[in-house]
Amino acid sequence: MPSLELSLNDLNAPQREAVTHSGSPLLIIAGAGSGKTRVLTYRIAHLLEQRGVRPGEILAITFTNKAAAEMKQRVEGLISSRAANAMWVLTFHSACVRILRREGGRLGYPSSFTIYDAADSKRLMQLVCKEMDLDPKRFPPKSFSAQVSNLKNELIDYDTFGESAQTEQEKKLAEAYTLYQRRLHEAGAMDFDDLIMLTVNLLEMFPDVAEYYRRRFRHVLVDEYQDTNHAQYRLVRQLVGIGGDTDPAAFPPPELCVVGDADQSIYAFRGATIRNILEFERDYPEARTILLEQNYRSTQNILNAANAVIQRNPDRREKKLWSDQGIGPKITGYVADNEHDEAAFVVGEIDKLHDEGEFTPSQVAVFYRTNAQSRVFEDVFIRTGLPYKIVGGVRFYERKEIRDILAYLRVLANPEDTVSLRRILNVPKRGIGDRAEESIELFAARERISFAQALRRAQDAPGIATRSLKAIREFTALLEELEELAPSSSPSEIIEAVLHRTGYLSELANSKDIQDESRVENLEEFVDVAREFENTFSGPLYGGEEEEEPGAAAGEETGPEGAAAATGEGAGEEAEGEGETTPEPTLVDFLEQISLVADTDQIPDADESGGVVTLMTLHSAKGLEFPVVFLTGMEDGVFPHMRTLGEKEELEEERRLAYVGITRAQQRLYISRSAVRSAWGTPSYNPASRFLDEVPKDLVEWRRSESAIAPSRPKFATQSRKPSARPSREVPTLEVGDKVTHDSFGMGTVQLVDGVGDRTKARIDFGADIGEKDFLVKFAPIEKL
DNA sequence: CAGTCTACTATTTTT
DNA sequence: TAGTAGACTG
């Protein structure tokens, strides 16, 4: 066993304290670059080696698979890998899936339930809204879907929401939520938010299950705690047995350790609440808080800039990062005339850094606020031949052809999965059109049977065309054929069978659309992904390796299954995950991997010779670090984003995003903006980002501080040369309370003005009949009265 | 039923 | 500008 005593010396005092603290809940506030992952992994090693904790008693939760993998790998570097295998180091979602696969039966779900991603759940909501005959203009399915997601994040079920529904909108939403949830249940499916919510429900409703996990996991560690939403917060509370429904007196609660940094919370728009970290000491009165402020990543100049920016946010716990890495060079600033010019500057600098032998391209990252901004960089990078890699954007598993085949696989794994079934019904084209689909749906509703069952009884469906019926027969026969071979085939074999027997591949092969060529390639890659999965498979994500030495458990493990557990939980079937029996990967395992584990092609390896420049959004950059960072598009309206300018909280989140961006840089930081930027075809003139003003002047050396085309802060567009659709017209300067007339809505009152320059928006109230509407002032046919 | 056309909309997104 | 979703027509 490696001596941990020695390695504790690599830690600073607060880090060491965080590693060794015991006996009460622990909050570690870890500033950017303060060695958070190191502390977490050392803490785990310390638990195992010094405190006699068994690996099976540790549950470490992260948000991303990448973080989980990294933590696991780094723990393995400290202790034996066999021990590391018995720990649960998982994302919130995969941990919940493990629990739900075992216990979901109590909630009426099959253990092979399907996981719907955001696209699937939107599709289902669309079907639900159509079924309810809702006007998509007044009740947009997309918005309903988002709202249901928010409700689930708040653990508000449809009944509770329905009771308090007042307006028509809310009532319809409650109805849609109810129906949506019923459809999910019928399809044996859960959406992402269900994974968390239903696990909380399960633990709250079945105290024996909750107790089982509390007895089992004596240590619960949570990473990125500032990103937890309410449901995840409640889940953690359930796991440690505080605030739960069961009697906590029976045995001591598990020890909780959370790590986070409120200043790096950038996912509030997804329901994350900063509250969870700010109020940790109130939630857990015994808690100890440790602050990590020494940064091991960046130069002091970079940290000073970051500190200055984040300080503008009110109501935060004061925290000042410092570094002993030296002052470092100043930040380089650049004002470009347009976005191409900006990209050219970035490329030029990267070339220069490379030529001077200071940095290789792989040490450089370019950040931007929105994915759309990547295009220009891509253009310029290609033109100059500088190798690059864009992280994010259209993801592999979101491509149409992959989703089509996935839908087949899901139907094979779970025939009741209606969303997937309806997706492939007429893919490839086989003559089952909207008409036929509708009559099957109607028939299913009337007979109170599932869509899948209705399909198999299609001959009884009223008003179905003979031609359609024949096509449906062929389709169900095809499915049966595939279902037959599925149980004895590996995932990759199943995929190949689907590709060939459905005619999907030949349809693409016969197409003359060039896009379809790359589709075929993607599908080939998909088969490879499946093969790779089979080769590296080490046991299912769920179930699998439980206790490694069941007998040694402190106190008898009372399994949640009552009688079954009495025969010795852990010693039985569950234990075979490791060792002797190499488990065969099932289709369900494969599908789960795909839904829960995002992209294979992510951040390029830094140490590859020369390597490539990494381009990504600021959000994707969280958790990463690069020797050289370019923060681009520093313009009000771009970053901070136009849509955040009105809301105080959202602007604060943008500022945190800026903080995250700045603190990614280790040695060199560049900040740039462009005077003109084309958005959706039309150029717009943006003023400098307010975040630029928040960086102390003496930290920045401006390579170019003014644009040639817009010497001072331009007010409005010098309307482009070519006549736009709208004849040139006075753009009114509006203020709240102004009366205006609109060409089609008539007279109204300005309620809200928001945004900058060309992108100024106004909310105008046209009275009871029409209500409030938002306009882009530049384009709206409004006149000030 | 299937291909084509038009109208619409447009952050960030760990799972 | 560009991608998509629904309507329209052959």
C-alpha–C-alpha distance, residues A709 and A113, integer Å: 59
Q: Is A383 in the same domain as A412?
A: no
pLDDT at residue A557, as a whole number: 39
Q: Residue A517 — pLDDT band, cuts 50, 70, 90? A: confident
- Cβ neighbours for A284, distance < 8 A, ≥ 6 positions apart: A24, A25, A27, A242, A256
Last residue of a domain, one of A489, A505, A523: A523
Q: Residue A733 — pLDDT band, cuts 50, 70, 90? A: low
Q: Which of A223-237, A297-311, A607-621 has the lowest mean pLDDT?
A: A607-621
Distance A472 CA to B1 C1' (A): 14
- A759 catalytic? Reply is no
CATH number, position A691 = 3.40.50.300
pLDDT at residue A728, as a whole number: 34
How distant, in Å, are the alpha carbons of A336, A487, A632, A711 from that of A706? 8, 67, 16, 6
Q: Is A219 in the same domain as A94?
A: yes
pLDDT at residue A597, as a whole number: 79
- Is A212 inside any structural domain? yes
Whether A33 has a binding-site annotation, put simply, is: yes
Q: Please tell me which residue, A682 or A745, carries the higher pLDDT value.
A: A682
Instruction: Kindly tell me if the per-residue pLDDT of A539 is higher than 90.
Output: no
Q: Is A333 in the same domain as A375?
A: yes
Tokens of A346: 């970035």
Instruction: Kindly tell me if the per-residue pLDDT of A555 is higher than 60.
Output: no
- Is A726 inside any structural domain? no
Instruction: Kindly tell me if the per-residue pLDDT of A95 is higher than 90.
Output: yes
Q: Please tell me which residue, A243 or A357, carries the higher pLDDT value.
A: A357
Tokens of A383: 């033109």
| % of chain A surpassing 90 pLDDT | 64
Whether A34 has a binding-site annotation, put simply, is: yes
| DSSP secondary structure letters along A372-432 | GGHHHHHHHHHHHT--EEE-SSS-GGGSHHHHHHHHHHHHHH-TT-HHHHHHHTTSS--S-
Q: Is A423 in the same domain as A460?
A: yes
Q: Is A402 in the same domain as A503?
A: yes
Q: Is A307 in the same domain as A177?
A: no
Total count of domains within chain A:
5
Q: Quick one: which residue's CA is nearest to B12's C1'?
A: A619
Average pLDDT estimate for A674-700: 92
Find tokens 């995002």 and name the residue.
Answer: A598
- Is A304 inside any structural domain? yes
Q: Which domain holds residue A357?
A: 297-315+327-387+604-719
C-alpha–C-alpha distance, residues A437 and A733, integer Å: 52
A286: exposed, middle or buried (Cβ count in 10 Å: 0-12, 13-18, 19+): exposed
pLDDT in tens, A741-781: 665 555 677 776 665 555 566 667 665 545 566 666 655 65
Instruction: Kindly tell me if the per-residue pLDDT of A231 is higher than 70.
Output: yes
Q: Is A479 in the same domain as A494?
A: yes
Q: Are A115 and A555 in contact (CB under 8 A)?
A: no
Instruction: Kindly tell me if the per-residue pLDDT of A726 is higher than 60.
Output: no
Q: Is the CB of A126 under 7 A from strand C?
A: yes
Find tokens 């990078």 and name the residue.
Answer: A381
pLDDT in tens, A259-305: 999 999 999 999 999 999 999 999 999 999 999 999 999 999 999 99
Q: Are A39 and A534 in contact (CB under 8 A)?
A: no
pLDDT at residue A606, as a whole number: 59
CATH number, position A145 = 1.10.10.160
The average confidence (pLDDT) of chain A is 85
| Identity of the residue numbered A265 | S
A457: exposed, middle or buried (Cβ count in 10 Å: 0-12, 13-18, 19+): middle
CA-closest candidate to residue A155, choices A229, A206, A253, A88 = A229
Instruction: Kindly tell me if the per-residue pLDDT of A571 is higher than 70.
Output: no
pLDDT in tens, A369-408: 999 999 999 999 999 999 999 888 778 888 899 999 999 9
- Is A246 inside any structural domain? yes
Distance A633 CA to B14 C1' (A): 24
Instruction: Kindly tell me if the per-residue pLDDT of A473 is higher than 50.
Output: yes
- A429 catalytic? Reply is no
Q: Residue A252 — pLDDT band, cuts 50, 70, 90? A: confident
CATH number, position A472 = 1.10.486.10
C-alpha–C-alpha distance, residues A396 and A218, integer Å: 38
Whether A678 has a binding-site annotation, put simply, is: no
A723: exposed, middle or buried (Cβ count in 10 Å: 0-12, 13-18, 19+): exposed
If DSSP codes are grouped into helix, strand and coil, which group holds residue A602?
Answer: coil
Average pLDDT estimate for A695-710: 89
CA-closest candidate to residue A478, choices A424, A514, A531 = A424
A763 beta partners:
A752, A774
Q: Is A128 in the same domain as A231?
A: no
pLDDT at residue A296, as a whole number: 96
Last residue of a domain, one of A473, A495, A523: A523
Nucleotide nearest to A62 (CA to C1'): B14
pLDDT in tens, A631-659: 999 999 999 999 898 889 999 999 999 99
DSSP conformation class of A112: T
Q: Is A424 in the same domain as A504?
A: yes
- Is A702 inside any structural domain? yes
Q: Are A696 and A664 in contact (CB under 8 A)?
A: no
Whether A13 has a binding-site annotation, put simply, is: no
For the whole model, what pTM was predicted? 0.85
- Is A268 inside any structural domain? yes
Nucleotide nearest to A682 (CA to C1'): C1
Q: Is A697 in the same domain as A746?
A: no
Distance A475 CA to B12 C1' (A): 41
C-alpha–C-alpha distance, residues A149 and A654, integer Å: 22
Q: Is A279 in the same domain as A421?
A: no
pLDDT at residue A553, as a whole number: 38
Q: Taking chain A, what is the end-to-end CA distance rounded to the nearest angstrom?
A: 81
Tokens of A147: 């709202």
If DSSP codes are grouped into helix, strand and coil, which group holds residue A122?
Answer: helix
Last residue of a domain, one of A523, A558, A586: A523
Q: Residue A732 — pLDDT band, cuts 50, 70, 90? A: low
- Is A107 inside any structural domain? no
A713: exposed, middle or buried (Cβ count in 10 Å: 0-12, 13-18, 19+): exposed
Q: Are A87 and A56 in contact (CB under 8 A)?
A: yes
Q: Is A136 in the same domain as A263?
A: no
Average pLDDT estimate for A328-339: 96
pLDDT in tens, A48-66: 999 999 999 999 999 988 8
- Is A553 inside any structural domain? no
pLDDT at residue A518, as a whole number: 84
Distance A404 CA to B2 C1' (A): 19
Write down the H helix ranges in A553-600.
563-566, 587-596
C-alpha–C-alpha distance, residues A768 and A16, integer Å: 63
- Selecting among A72, A410, A422, A664, the annotated active-site residue is A664
C-alpha–C-alpha distance, residues A460 and A135, integer Å: 30
Find tokens 């930081």 and name the residue.
Answer: A669
Tokens of A530: 């499946």
Instruction: Kindly tell me if the per-residue pLDDT of A3 is higher than 60.
Output: no
pLDDT in tens, A169-192: 899 999 999 999 999 999 999 999
How distant, in Å, are the alpha carbons of A152, A158, A171, A172, A404 from that of A161? 10, 5, 9, 11, 34
pLDDT at residue A547, as a whole number: 40
CA-closest candidate to residue A270, choices A234, A235, A232 = A232
- A561 catalytic? Reply is no
pLDDT at residue A768, as a whole number: 54
